[in-house]
Chains A and B, each alone.
Chain A
């Protein structure tokens, strides 16, 4: 799986500190496979106790389809559960934009080819306002040039990504391949390490 570029409408979630317990509650972590978590993405915000869709929640609003989730700062804080990234990908998201990501979530997202894009608070506010004015607004994400652009507007920004992680996304590499290539160095390290346990 690779990621190069994407053009899509956005799903706005202007809430701060969205934790992974909200993205996928613990009681839905009982599966032993990676598939199917999208069904319970944002479960307790999306459905009431009787399993009825809560109309106010953005995923239940048909005017917001799209593969880009735009969220408030500190998205993905809390538990290390990779199920949060699996749920977002399984639901159909390919990009998450926020002004700040929790560390473990960011790693988990990248390991699942879900691109977390960190933007400034100002850009995030401007993007939320564009989406509010026009839910059909198209956002272009271009990984090779590290550019974000709201189509038919002046709003654009560049974003940062670790060059190695960028390479992985563009070429479909993953960390496992790289770590397996380090086998000899690892054996050498074990021979020479300075501690005995």
Chain B
């Protein structure tokens, strides 16, 4: 292959090949492995059964996020099974010699927030975690993807994985985003065009001037939701924005190692003549603030649009989704009363998200009867928000600023939206029951969530922006 033009994805993949054999999947080296309390206990049991240690303990980082309460984290976890799971992670990390940023630790947080935040996730790396939103780390210019628990066990035991090389897809967004349109709207727009399975079998590279113009955190929001169109992962070529973000972070390379890394990272972007298996191109100016109406992330519309009529093949699915949501085809969502607002999750819980929300709600109050939860992605995000005084703005608005965790994105802890209630959520999935049994989710950007919190209904944020 040497001498031929390569994509960013193929360069990183090829750099991590341990061995290749005809008819077999490739053996890939894994640079960093993140684990959490929900998808790891059975993997450690597997190691114990085989009597083998963790191969490279320094390359696995553990945190507790999925199942933790977001209030009173200094107290013992009330829910027994959740407590057992978090304690099991602690025991396993001690037994196998792994670093744990557990509950109460200053570095604790959602696994996909803390990796980049601490400078653990770097360009050119292969990174995996027993969580499908591992694709988030791809924003730094890395191959990052979710794995099952059997694979978690394999990475613990061998620091490697088997993989069949996926096809490559380029999604290019050119031009300038309109007022009130965020990176969350870009990715919801793409998924609404490509569908929830349109990128299955592919790894996606996001490119184009609109992507280049995004901050690092905004890029993470896009890569995060790659899995929602079926892609195993998504990535963005590292550039000055990437390097500026990483430099000086706790675990980032320093001194000579930084210079050497930088030189290598600059060789990674896709070669000019490289060919992707599939390419889509969109114009940023066509993207409105987005909102979903159904029960998968592909069921999204521009906020001024109406819910589509059933089209071929999807009629039964759409009908089932709308029945679950209590909505009708051809209905506009503008003015729809809501009950909850959730601002958080590995998609939109970073400091920039909280700043955007605070900036918008400053001096305003939430609508009566609405519950607004702001759940920071990490302890560091929470501390930063407090240092900047964002907590006071949220409190004055009647919002509930909670502690770091996955929270109402998947409602494994007590942060659940009750049956039949509507929630505008900055998270990544609107599946049936995702935010609690019977809950009804509208996925949207932090700004669209913030305006809904103030008006108590689905609102076009642009009407509130000067």
Contact = CB atoms under 8 A, between A and B. Distances in A.
Given A74-B230, A82-B149, A17 B162 contact: no
Contact of B29 (A30, A175, A193): A193
Given A104-B132, A186-B160, A190-B29, A77 B197 contact: yes
A194 B431 CA distance: 42
Contacts of A44: 432-433, 437
B27 A179 contact: yes
A171 B160 CA distance: 22
A180 B158 contact: yes
The CB with the most chain B CB atoms within 10 A, among A74, A77, A83, is that of A77
A114 B201 CA distance: 20
B164 A162 contact: yes
B96 to A, nearest CB: 15
Interface stretch (A21-29, A89-97, A148-156): A21-29
Interface in B178-232: 196-197, 200-201, 227, 230, 232
A25 B437 contact: yes
Range of interface residues on chain B? 35 or more
Interface stretch (A58-66, A105-113, A139-147): A105-113
B25 A182 contact: no
Contact of B261 (A80, A111, A196): A196
Contacts of A81: 38-39, 148
A85 interface: yes
B176 interface: no
B292 to A, nearest CB: 13
B147 interface: yes
Contacts of B45: 32-34
A81 B38 CA distance: 9
A17 B296 contact: yes
Contacts of A112: 150
Interface in A28-61: 29-34, 44, 49
Given A44-B437, A179-B161, A194-B15, A29 B232 contact: no
Contact of A182 (B27, B42, B433): B27
B150 A111 contact: yes
The CB with the most chain A CB atoms within 10 A, among B38, B164, B232, is that of B38
Interface in A180-197: 180, 182-183, 185-186, 189-190, 193-197
A123 to B, nearest CB: 16
A15 interface: yes
A78 interface: yes
B150 A21 contact: no
A22 B264 contact: no
A103 B27 contact: no
A103 B124 CA distance: 23
B230 A103 contact: yes
A6 interface: no
A102 interface: yes
B327 interface: no
A195 B124 contact: yes
Given A82-B148, A197-B257, A179 B154 contact: yes
A44 B419 CA distance: 12
A166 B181 CA distance: 47
A100 interface: yes
A190 B56 CA distance: 11
A56 to B, nearest CB: 12
Contacts of A17: 196-197, 296, 317
Contact of B431 (A34, A73, A78, A193): A78
Interface string B268-310: 0000000000000000000000000000100000000000000
Interface in B310-330: 314, 316-317, 320
A30 B83 CA distance: 9
B230 A30 contact: no
Contact of A34 (B42, B66, B147): B42
A108 B153 CA distance: 12
Interface in B103-144: 122, 124-125, 130-132
CB-based closest 9 A-B pairs: A82-B148, A32-B41, A30-B81, A108-B148, A80-B146, A111-B150, A74-B197, A80-B132, A82-B149
17 contacts: A17-B317, A21-B410, A21-B431, A22-B433, A26-B66, A30-B412, A32-B85, A78-B227, A102-B200, A107-B148, A108-B148, A111-B148, A162-B25, A176-B153, A180-B158, A189-B29, A194-B264
Interface of B: 15, 17-19, 23-25, 27, 29, 31, 38-39, 41-42, 45-46, 50, 52, 55, 66-67, 81-82, 84-85, 88, 122, 124-125, 130-132, 146-151, 153-154, 157-162, 164, 166, 196-197, 200-201, 227, 230, 232, 253, 257, 260-261, 264, 296, 314, 316-317, 320, 410-412, 419, 429, 431-434, 437-438
Given A19-B429, A77-B296, A82-B130, 4 more contacts: A29-B66, A32-B84, A74-B197, A82-B148
